[in-house]
Structure 1
Amino acid sequence: MTVITEDRGRQNMFAKEPPMQVMDVSVTHNEKAELLNGRLAMLGILSAVISYAFSGSIFFFGAFGI
């Protein structure tokens, strides 16, 4: 087993590091989140337009008489 002594005298018995792996990331988390937010916003706008067309009010306010 290889033991490495650091600058301040500490010994590191686990000095062998695994090889690095480079991952190819084509779409980041932020891009996925923005795409989902945009789709949900379009779904909300479409449902508001359909609700207004059928009830004359946006969403449930026409159903409750408000």
Structure 2
Amino acid sequence: MKNQTTETPRVEEGKVIAERLNGLAASIGCLALVGAYLTTGQIIPGVV
């Protein structure tokens, strides 16, 4: 059996920042969806 080390894999800093921005954009999109629904009663204003 080989010696196994218990090193944890390192995550690139750029990927962490990208994931945080993606989560922020998704949160803003959800808030915009709720806001549009509350003000107009439609999920996509102007469509049906």
TM class by shorter-chain length?
A: 0.5 to 0.7
Displacement over 2 Å in runs of 4+ = none
Using CA pairs under 8 Å that are at least 6 residues apart, name the structure with larger relative contact order, 1 or 2. 2
Q: Which has the larger radius of gyration?
A: 1
Percent of aligned pairs with the same amino acid: 32
Considering fraction of residues, name the structure with more helix: 2
Consecutive unaligned residues in structure 1, runs of 5 or more:
1-26
Query: How many residues are paired up?
Result: 37
Where structure 2 has 5 or more consecutive residues not aligned to the other structure, the ranges are 1-11
Q: With structure 2 as the length reference, what TM-score do the two structures score?
A: 0.68
**Structure 1 length as normaliser, TM-score?**
0.51
RMSD: 1.5
